[in-house]
Amino acid sequence: MPLALFALTAGAFGIGVTEFIIMGLLLEVGTDLGVSIAAAGLLISGYALGVVAGAPLMTALTARWPRKTALLVLMVIFTVGNVACALAPDYHTLMAARVLTALAHGTFFGVGSVVATGLVPPQRRASAIAVMFTGLTVASVLGVPFGTWLGQAYGWRASFWAVAAVGLLAVLVIAALVPAERAAPEAPDLRRDLRALMRRPVLLGLLTTVLGYAGVFAVFTYIAPILTQITGFADSAVSPILLVFGVGLVVGNLLGGRLADRRLQATVLGSLAALAVVLGLMTFALHSRVLAVIFVGLLGVAAFATVAPLQMWVLERARGAGQSLASSFNIAAFNLGNAIGAWLGGAVITRGPGLGAVTWVAALVPVAALAVAWLAIRLEGSTHGGQAGGSSGLSSQPLH
């Protein structure tokens, strides 16, 4: 894998830390800014909605730019947003700064996915996407725990200063390592790109992403109370167990990319089926401490084994110049799935059968995603004589 991919990974790492670090600092932020824990928790929702809104907006605004330039500008926005978070004098300013930071998220991963696939031979495209997304998984394993410790030891603002420093470093390595495009970028045609986005295969791919990740976050959002109230772990045990989840993310991410390079359709279907099985069996495993830890790790593997295949799935079906927009929308779809999953888990707890039922209810969602993916493959097979997925349709500017 070329060094330029690891420059993209550095940017992904910073974005991953920013997205999730607030989970470990809710008490510190709430106390310092004089708001409730629930209000502080809305900083997570605000970020997710910023990603959903920012993906199409920023992709459209940067469509005329060379992709390297777009990546650099997005990382600058990300860095400035984190500086604004560190300096925020009150809750509302912090919320606005979080949304500003989130605007860069979807388009960075969308454009970055297209750039990553252009840096490697055709048979390594999904693995290239997985390498970039490794930044997110490493953020979960190392960045978020370290940032949480830093915020608890030196104040929550110190964590955002640290992430801003990571953003500055990412700007420098992207500028140094990501190759420029040889040819001028194709003139954007928003109507054409939107038509490509509205094609049935792309829409079904986006829906598959939303449903797949809604199941993951229906459980992950409430993993702490699940482990303490159902399995019986002490509060202090939750962080080490989440490290097991993070290791699972790294393994699943790389495994999903490797398998998708070999057989994309089979990997999409297989990873969603595995996710549904893990979530369903987790319902029973949670009553044993040993099995609970094992299944938390398996959930991490199954969750991120879907990421590179689903991103590649949408990229292949977008084709041509509309890939950046479709890729960014798919990142927004992941975040929309996060928001829906958190709502679903909360509804099961407060209005449904309760905390113990979250896992098996969550398992039904990737089953629905599996059905959508299977339908998409059948429809493509009937249209193209069963050749869907054989030709990638990927198109990017030549790089040097």
Span 189-224, pLDDT tens digits = 667 777 777 788 888 888 998 998 889 888 887 887
pLDDT at 90 over 70: yes
| pLDDT grade for 382, boundaries at 50, 70 and 90 | low
pLDDT at 260 over 60: yes
| pLDDT grade for 292, boundaries at 50, 70 and 90 | very high
User: Does 397 fall in a domain?
Assistant: no
Q: In the block, which residue shows the tokens 């996407």?
A: 129
Q: Are residues 152 and 39 in the same domain?
A: yes
Three-state DSSP class for residue 128: helix
User: Does 395 fall in a domain?
Assistant: no
Q: Are residues 78 and 26 in the same domain?
A: yes
Q: Are residues 312 and 293 in the same domain?
A: yes
User: Does 48 fall in a domain?
Assistant: yes
Fill in the amino acid letter for 325. L
Q: Are residues 337 and 230 in the same domain?
A: yes
pLDDT at 102 over 70: yes
Q: Are residues 59 and 203 in the same domain?
A: no
Q: Are residues 111 and 142 in the same domain?
A: yes
User: Does 68 fall in a domain?
Assistant: yes
Q: Name 94's Cβ contacts closer than 8 Å, sequence gap at least 6.
A: 29, 33, 43, 85, 88
Cβ-based neighbour number of residue 71 at 10 Å: 26
Q: Which of 128, 155, 183 is the last residue of a domain?
A: 183
Tell me the two tokens of residue 152: 């608890």
pLDDT at 385 over 80: no
Q: Are residues 318 and 336 in the same domain?
A: yes
Q: Name 149's Cβ contacts closer than 8 Å, sequence gap at least 6.
A: none
User: Does 360 fall in a domain?
Assistant: yes
Q: Which of 155, 183, 211 is the last residue of a domain?
A: 183
Q: Which of 183, 217, 241 is the last residue of a domain?
A: 183
CATH number of the domain at 348, please: 1.20.1250.20
Q: Are residues 123 and 62 in the same domain?
A: yes
User: Does 370 fall in a domain?
Assistant: yes
pLDDT tens, 218-256? Answer: 888 788 788 888 998 887 787 788 788 888 888 888 888
pLDDT at 56 over 60: yes
Q: Are residues 256 and 129 in the same domain?
A: no
CA–CA distance from 73 to each of 103, 118, 335 (Å)?
A: 11, 20, 22
User: Does 67 fall in a domain?
Assistant: yes
The beta strand positions in the chain, using DSSP E, are: none
Tell me the two tokens of residue 150: 């830093």
User: Does 369 fall in a domain?
Assistant: yes
Q: Are residues 176 and 71 in the same domain?
A: yes
Q: Are residues 179 and 193 in the same domain?
A: no
Q: Are residues 174 and 205 in the same domain?
A: no
* Angle between helix 156-177 and helix 3-20 axes, rounded to 10 deg: 160
Cβ-based neighbour number of residue 284 at 10 Å: 12
The length of the chain is 400
pTM: 0.73
Domain carrying residue 354: 189-390
The total domain count for the chain is 2
